[in-house]
A and B are shown apart, each in its own frame.
Chain A
């Protein structure tokens, strides 16, 4: 590449073909074009933080939710922002580290001047942000962290957008009962998600008088899960419930297949992640998974088409929708007059309180989770949004683990 000295010497050469024009008018034109291409924002940007794991053990969930969040952000800015304010995302990767996640949440509240925090798929880092939200009085919308007790005692600025483990468990127990299964075996990993989910499933099954014939817990790093699976097999269940993380879930399914267990299987929401199904391959085919996204809804289809156009194809699961719905909840509340008035007065603390109040006031928000007509149920005393009914949709794995389709419930019955 020529440098400026070369250019000058060429222009001065008696046999130089042409004299080079100075480059600055072109640069100025490009700059002017770039400036004109941006919306002319009349007001300061409103910042919303996204804090989640995007490189650790639960990275798939955080990445997909952040992608959904960005789609909502692009929509609101394309529509002119919020009363002339552009909305800006400030994103942090908490790496499944509760301490790091809490530090980032503090930074959002203290240094970034964010109006709200969205994030929290894995439970421990998600829980670490709750006291930060309380301390700084900043609304925090938690995503798929499912540990039940996180919203048992409502914290004033905390909202849960995703379902809690007991709701998954109730949905699964309901399906087990409806389909006529009588002998259930449970296998779960020893992490909080696995043990909490299994505990909730035991309670839900007991409430429906369904017998649990075996329960096994395993370490996620064990290469061979045959001892646990053979104990399940010996108990002769007619359905197996699995509460895993992604990679260990694949090992459970492969071991079930290896030990010749053809029993119908239901796997917790972690099987919505392609990682589990990619690793399990054909061993995941036929598995039923509770999802909170109805793939027949037109608005859901539109979201996943937009997702595909921007980030690549993704199966319609709850994780992108959680980020999208949480962002939309915040944006709707941001447009409330009290929030905007506080913002225009430069009163950040008052704007956050008004935003919290607006989220509560808009508590019956109809997002993309749940079946048509279902809405969130936030109120002053309830910070857990998803309702118990009309929320879950079961999907089934097919195509060597590649696809999620409508569950064929007619065939999902006890093997005679």
Chain B
């Protein structure tokens, strides 16, 4: 019984990370139909700038967190104004813009290499890493924080999308940006919000996972892949579906690891994704996206 509890808790912790990256990818996709391959680099910038502000500059915690989030927001604006807008103005299709985001990811990694160097660096923890008991389970406050923040950001995103007029504008832009524009919605601002909000979420993910994973400038790629897998499995059109996809992937990983071997986790997950896509080509919860087509 304790073993299954440990496995589920680990799945939920890892799933919260994958889910938040998937949610971020889906948020941008929802506003402009572009998959942002630089999403993991926002997480990387969050982790590495936490090192810069908390260790190198030794700022107090709250100003350091504000500075970290400032960095990822600036990076989001740079991606929008430096890659997305110029390509869009020249009539580039979404596939070209996606490649543009991939190029931006590689450039960001190279620039980060110049600043932080190639080594895996220690990231100070915002919350203690000492063991704590939750019922029969042992975890630590940093891991609990990841799950709590995941739940909070999901709730915030839901509230924003479904309980505000601005959220209605976001959803309308996601359905058809041109029609939304004709209805008086400034879709360019909606897209900008998508970049900024998703970068903010990724920056928070960086602050949370940095102390557990350590900081390395190349860490963004694997996080993008996991987030992308989560979004595809759940359904790209909905941020909540992508988040659910992340949790499902991590639970399968944890179950395979706990009762088998992690060596086979990835092939099993990809086989699972493939089987699900055979029956539901738009993902498990991709009804909205299926309806669009």
Point out residues on A near B: beta carbons under 8 Å.
Answer: 54-57, 59-60, 63, 190, 195, 215-219, 221-228, 230-231, 234, 246-247, 250-251, 254, 257-260, 275, 278-279
Contacts and interface: CB of A to CB of B under 8 A. Distances in A.
Contact of A226 (B6, B146, B263, B266): B6
Contacts of B121: 275
23 contacts: A54-B118, A55-B113, A55-B117, A59-B117, A195-B263, A216-B261, A217-B261, A217-B263, A219-B253, A219-B257, A219-B262, A221-B226, A222-B253, A223-B212, A224-B10, A224-B13, A224-B14, A230-B3, A231-B3, A247-B213, A247-B214, A258-B138, A258-B139
A72 B245 CA distance: 53
A251 B143 CA distance: 12
B193 interface: no
B214 A279 contact: yes
Interface in B205-261: 209, 212-214, 216, 218, 222-223, 226, 253-255, 257-258, 261
B10 A227 contact: yes
Given A223-B13, A223-B14, A258-B139, 5 more contacts: A216-B261, A219-B266, A223-B143, A231-B258, A254-B129
Q: Is the interface of B mostly helix, strand, loop or mixed?
A: helix
A399 to B, nearest CB: 15
B225 to A, nearest CB: 9
B35 interface: no
B119 interface: yes
Interface string B10-46: 1101100100000000000000000000000000000
Contacts of B212: 223-224, 251
B138 A57 contact: no
A101 to B, nearest CB: 15
Contacts of B218: 56-57
B251 to A, nearest CB: 10
Contacts of B13: 223-224
Contacts of B258: 227-228, 230-231
Contacts of B254: 224, 227
Q: Number of contact residues on B: which range applies?
A: 35 or more
A50 B152 CA distance: 50
A226 B119 contact: no
B139 A59 contact: no
A251 B13 CA distance: 14
B122 interface: yes
Given A216-B257, A219-B253, A59 B119 contact: yes
B257 A218 contact: yes
Given A56-B118, A223-B13, A257-B131, A228 B262 contact: yes
B140 interface: yes
Which of B120, B140, B209, B226 counts the most chain A CB atoms within 10 A?
B120
Contacts of A250: 214
A246 B258 CA distance: 22
A260 B131 contact: yes
A222 B120 CA distance: 16
A190 B262 contact: yes
Nearest to A246: B120
B7 interface: yes
B154 interface: no
A221 B120 CA distance: 13
Contacts of B262: 190, 216-219, 222, 228
A234 B3 contact: yes
Contacts of A218: 257, 262
Nearest to A59: B118
